[in-house]
Amino acid sequence: MDVERLVEQVVTGLGFELVDFETSPKGRLMRVFIDIDRGVNVDDCATVSNQLTRVFEVENVDYDRLEISSPGLDRPLKKAADFERFAGSDVQVRLRMPIGNQRNFVGVLAGFSEGVVRLSTEKGEVAFPFDEIEKARLVPRF
């Protein structure tokens, strides 16, 4: 049984977006990061936690601790849809392989189309394939 797929089914069924799912090496700790357009509150986390607890009991998923949280202001960008949704936002991107001796980029997400992410940096616009992104996060503005 794929626990991540089960979690995604439950979370989306409740009207939330599954942003990220993490487990400890032996699967004893599960962290679920959820989001919704209006923002996540404590009641949302409790609702998802209660529903997942019930589903895990029925599906015999063995775990010690379940944590439900919002992704935070520095939300990770994981899916192609995230790069479309957050166009115009400040982001930090780390690539799997360097481009011109550089793996880390910070700038404004200029867009995403046909599998290519465009980023406006201080040095100009750069573009790289979505598949080459190791890690990406929003950079909060204060």
Q: What is the pLDDT of residues 91-124, one digit of tens each?
A: 999 999 998 889 999 999 998 989 999 999 998 8
Backbone φ, ψ for residue 59 (5° rounding):
-90, 0
Residue 43 main-chain phi, psi, to 5 deg? -65, -35
Q: What is the mean pLDDT of residues 59-63?
A: 91
DSSP label at 133? E
DSSP category for residue 76: B
Same domain, 9 and 59: yes
Residue 37 within any structural domain of the chain: yes
Q: Do 63 and 92 have their domain in common?
A: no
Domain boundary among 11, 37, 69: 69
Q: Last residue of a domain, which of 69, 95, 117?
A: 69
Q: Are residues 103 and 50 in the same domain?
A: no
Tokens representing residue 16 in the block: 């939330």
What confidence category does residue 12 fall into, taking pLDDT thresholds of 50, 70 and 90?
Answer: very high
Q: Domain residues for 92? A: 80-138
Q: Are strands 116-121 and 29-35 parallel, antiparallel or unpaired?
A: unpaired
What predicted TM-score, i.e. pTM, was given to this entire model?
0.82
Q: How far apart are CA 70 and CA 140, in angstroms?
A: 15
pLDDT of residue 1: 64
* Structural domain count of the chain: 2
End residue of a domain, out of 69, 93, 117:
69
**8 with 30, same domain?**
yes
Query: Could you tell me if 65 and 97 lie in one domain?
Result: no
- Average pLDDT estimate for 47-69: 95
8 A C-beta contact, residue 61 and residue 81: no
Shared domain check, 105 and 60: no
CATH at residue 40? 3.30.300.70
Average pLDDT value for the chain: 93
Q: Is residue 74 part of a domain?
A: no
- Is residue 85 assigned to a domain? yes
Sign of the alpha-carbon torsion through 45, 46, 47, 50: positive
Do 101 and 55 fall within a single domain?
A: no
